[in-house]
Amino acid sequence: EKAQIGVTGLAVMGRNLARNLARNGFSVALHNRSQARTDALVAEFGSEGTFVPSTDLAGFVESLEQPRKVIIMVKAGAPTDAVIDELVPLLDEGDIVVDAGNAHFADTRRREAALRDKGLHFVGSGVSGGEEGALNGPSIMPGGSPESYAALEPMLTKISAHVNGEPCCVHVGPDGAGHFVKMLHNGIEYADMQLIAEAYDLLRQVLGLSPAELADVFRDWNTGDLESFLIEITAEVLSQTDPTAGGPFVDIVLDQAEQKGTGRWTVQSALDLGIPVSGMAEAVFARSLSGDVVRREAAAGVLPGPASPKADVDRDAFIEDVRHALYSSKLVAYAQGFDAIRAASEEYGWNIDLGAMATIWRGGCIIRARFLDRIKEAYDRNADLPSLLVDDYFRDAVASGQEAWRRVVATAATVGVPAPGFSAALSYYDGLRAERLPAALIQGLRDLFGAHTYKRVDRDGSFHLEWSGDRSETAQ
Ligand code: NDP
């Protein structure tokens, strides 16, 4: 009896994905470079379903029914290429190779093209939700040919998370589309976490609330529009006491945020596409600043600022203001993220359904939130929505909270508490809605120093002023 699908790479993610498939009734071929992981899986969880273990890749391929479906779940980068190179000569035309690791979408585009040339399908699939999600239902973002998705769909939609009976798995688009959307998911996750951290920091410093009191604030927020996994676990982390020394856990954690690089990829890709993703960029920069020990030590206690961050504000009113600032800034980050997906979709011809992306992220993944239902509804109302911010529902939400948002950014600046996410989001919002931007002056400067020309508001064409001569205007 041949297995319906195979997983090679049985570290925490691959192992849990294989178990998830088996628990859902699919027979799963198993392989890992070092056999110990395969043996451990079968020994510990063999009773969960039908596993077909192999000691080498040839045996693994042999154990699969055709057309073969192979999920690669190894370290992203060179290891993925190494596995693909070893796998490809063993496969037959029409077989499907799924890379479910965190590949860069450009690598996925390259691999898809190479395998397509050999008559094989390559599916770059984002998988989100960490090890828990992989086991119990992740959010899945597959990219590749429609034929390969049709073959995988019954399995992927069965093992994915579900919200209101709908799977958090949709065919994103061709080649790198799935991994691009997964990357954006991570970028948005960075922005979300930075904004939550700013809300925490402001409430703590300005009002002097304890982490336990703040946990209650976040718990309360989690019953409204902000309801999400990240807000829920924020309350959990803030209410945790240090198991070693007692006292708030958050206070004994070194304040240097690490990163594996997908946030940076998101910002780099958005820069290439010319899409402002300031929310995500500020989140990446804030992590970098936090880890820049040399400069932080040189500046702390040396650079002057306000004497105390405490402000004479009403407690409940300020909490409500910060809630509005968080919601509006989060909306900006998502609007920017969806702009980047739209731009990439146009650039690479992916034809991505933006509303469907919101559906995928409603469950299973780290940014799962009630908010995503609202995004889906916004795209249902208008599939060609130019920006989430101009959707009626979101426009009204920001309209009712924007004064609060402005007060929070002003307070942060006045008391000297950094809020790069909140303020960058507000600047983006004001830039977007401005009737006229100072870009006109920049164009003037560019024309003066570099003869880069400018366009006029009243006539078509490009123009240049003879800056060093008689300052007459010539059409270019
Ligand atoms: P790791 O990223 O730690 O990778 C370990 C696995 O890769 C092992 O099975 C290892 O085999 C295999 N491997 C490494 N190098 C090679 C090679 N040259 N040839 C063959 N196999 C190799 O495992 P994770 O389970 O954490 O993640 C797997 C993938 O999923 C990664 O791409 C990761 O980015 C992605 N991902 C991870 C998430 C997470 O929460 N951890 C969430 C979402 C995606 P061996 O046992 O022989 O060393």
CA-15 nearest atom, ligand 1 = 25
Beta bridge partners of 424: none
Contact (Cβ atoms closer than 8 angstroms) between residue 200 and residue 417: no
C-alpha to C-alpha distance for 355 and 339, rounded to whole angstroms: 12
333 close to 280: Cβ distance less than 8 angstroms: yes
State the pLDDT at residue 367.
94
The CA angle 308-313-315, to the nearest 5 degrees, is 110
What pLDDT does residue 1 have?
Answer: 87
End-to-end CA distance of the chain: 73
Alpha carbon separation from 185 to 151, 182, 224, 326, 338 (Å, rounded): 25, 5, 22, 18, 10
Using the CB atoms, write b or e for 209-244: b if 16+ within 10 Å. Answer: bebeebbebbbebbeebbebbbbbebbeebbeeeee
For residue 53, the tally of other CB atoms under 10 A from its CB is 20
- Alpha-carbon span 2 to 63, nearest angstrom: 5
Q: CA 412, CA 409: separation in Å to the nearest integer?
A: 5
Distance CA 474, CA 454 (A): 11
Per the residue annotation, which of 182, 282, 330, 376 is the catalytic one?
182
CB 73 within 8 A of CB 7: yes
Residue ranges in the chain modelled with pLDDT below 70: none
Strand order, beta sheet including 121-128: 51-53, 28-31, 5-8, 69-72, 96-99, 121-128, 139-143
Q: Residue 417's closest CA among 292, 306, 312, 303?
A: 306
Contact 12 CB / ligand 1 (< 6 Å): yes
pLDDT at 474: 97
- Which pair of structure tokens corresponds to residue 89? 């000569």
CA of 260 to the centre of ligand 1 (A): 13
Give the ligand 1 atom nearest the CA of 9: 9
Q: List, as own/partner pairs, every contact residues 375-379 make where C-beta atoms lie below 8 angstroms and the sequence separation is at least 24, other chains included.
A: 375/334, 375/338, 379/353, 379/354, 379/355
pLDDT at res. 406? 98
Query: Ligand 1 pocket test: which of 7, 12, 13 has the largest number of ligand atoms within 8 Å of its C-beta?
Result: 13
Cβ atoms within 10 Å, residue 116 = 14
Distance CA 217, CA 407 (A): 19
Would the CB of 76 count as within 6 Å of ligand 1?
yes
Output the six-digit token pair for 200: 């925490």
- Assess contact for 83 and 72: CB atoms under 8 A: yes
Q: Return the bridge partners of 13, or none.
A: none
Partners of residue 141 on adjacent β-strands: 126
User: Does ligand 1 come within 6 angstroms of the Cβ of 63?
Assistant: no
315 lines ligand 1 (CB under 6 A): no
pLDDT of residue 226: 96
Q: For 120-130, how does the pLDDT look when each residue is reduced to its tens digit (9 = 90+)?
A: 999 999 999 99
**Residue for token pair 């809605």:** 433
Going by C-alpha positions, the residue among 101, 100, 96, 57 that lies closest to residue 75 is 101
Note if 182 is an active site residue. yes
Phi, psi angle pair for 72, to nearest 5°? -100, 125
Using an 8 Å Cβ cutoff, are 172 and 142 in contact? yes
Residue 232 among the catalytic residues: no
Contact of 1 with 27, CB cutoff 8 Å: yes
Q: Whose CA is nearest to atom 1 of ligand 1?
A: 75
Helix residue ranges, H only, 63-176: 78-87, 105-117, 130-136, 146-159
- Residue 276 structure tokens: 């402002």
What ligand 1 atom has the least distance to the C-alpha of 76? 32
Tell me which residue has its CA closest to atom 23 in ligand 1: 11
Averaged confidence pLDDT in the chain: 97
Q: What is the DSSP letter of 467?
A: T
CA of 11 to the centre of ligand 1 (A): 6
Q: Between 315-348 and 420-433, two packed helices, what is the crossing angle to 10 degrees? A: 60
SS3 label, residue 53: strand
- Determine contact, residues 137/364, Cβ cutoff 8 Å: yes
Neighbours of 448 (CB within 10 A): 14
Strand partners for 454: 463
For residue 40, the CA-to-ligand 1 centroid distance in Å is 16
Q: Ligand 1: does its nearest atom lie under 6 Å from the Cβ of 38?
A: no
133: Cβ below 6 Å to ligand 1?
no
229 Ramachandran zone, left/alpha/beta (phi>0; psi -120 to 50): alpha
CB 32 near ligand 1, within 6 Å? yes
Rounded distance from Cα 75 to ligand 1 centre (Å): 4
Contact 260 CB / ligand 1 (< 6 Å): no
